[in-house]
Amino acid sequence: MANKIATRDSFSKFLVEYGKENKNVVALNADLSGSTMTKAFEQTYPDRFFNAGIAEQNMMGLACGLAHSGKVVFASSFVMFATGRAFEIIRNSIAYTNANVKVCASHAGLMVGEDGATHQAIEDLALMCSIPGMVVVNPSDDVSARKLLKAVAEVNGPAYVRLGRAATPVIYKESQKITIGKAIKLREGKDATIIATGTMVSPALEAAETLAKSGINVRVLDMHTIKPIDKKAILAAAKETGAIVTAEEHTVYGGLGAITASILAENYPCKMKMVAIKDTFGESGKPDQLLKKYGLTANDIVKAVKALKK
């Protein structure tokens, strides 16, 4: 069984190490350092950690000010509160002024589990992608999380990093090259392509194994960067495999699937299905049960691919 690590833990490890490397790094939290895993940074560099309390909008305003004072700012809270409650501040204070703030939010999607619909952010990718100039990344495992965090840290300007509460399988080796805006081809195939992001990359690989047993060979792409998205990889997949299934732990509106569909519609229409959360809220439950109920399993990806191959 593959080793499993939550990407919020990857963020914690990265932040402490990068804080040692760069003395201008500061971290902000909204009274959730124990959950977002910024506590380690707080304990290691107490003079560079700021707890804004349960005041996410104020935290983002503070982040903006610190960034324009020359700091590299990592602002963290739950996804729902960081991207939802503080959206206007992220848009007008951070993005509009091109502040060097990295919004690193944890507890994304249905895998928040028992916390229920109010805490299960399934709209965040759409919200953050709608902001001009915002880089949006959604790592799939521990290695990609740390490498993408380093990459966004070294780009001057606003970025959003989506992190998870639940442990997910480690997919990559430390030697893997991961570049913002460039999808990673995890598996070659000629019959269809599964384009997955975040927590759905591992189920996509599982689905590909299952499909291979049925004689259907699918390409698997990890679209870890939602914005700027790898348009070239999407169009190559459409032209070379003729069918695309997107998979994301996010609403069907405005995320990976919708962005992929818009690229295909304008440049190279092909058969397509989206494995995503429909027009509904989540609910309280065990993560695995929720993923099954809302159609976000490897088996759901298999069904989507087979439907396109009929």
- Of 27, 260, 299, 2, nearest to 153 by C-alpha is 27
Residue 56 annotated as catalytic: yes
Q: What is the distance of C-alpha 203 from the center of its chain?
A: 15
User: Looking at 42, 56, 248, 249, which residue is catalytic?
Assistant: 56
Residue 58's H or E segment, with its range, is: helix 56-67
8 Å CB contact between 297 and 303: no
8 Å CB contact between 86 and 112: no
Distance CA 56, CA 28 (A): 10
Which H, E and C letters describe 120-147, residue by residue?
A: CECCHHHHHHCCCCCEEECCCCHHHHHH
Which H, E and C letters describe 248-298, residue by residue?
A: EEEECCCCHHHHHHHHHHHHCCCEEEEEEECCCCCCCCCHHHHHHHCCCCH
3-state helix, strand, coil in the chain (%, to 5): 45, 20, 35
8 Å CB contact between 130 and 260: no
At 259, is the secondary structure helix, strand, or coil?
A: helix
Catalytic residues, which ones? 56
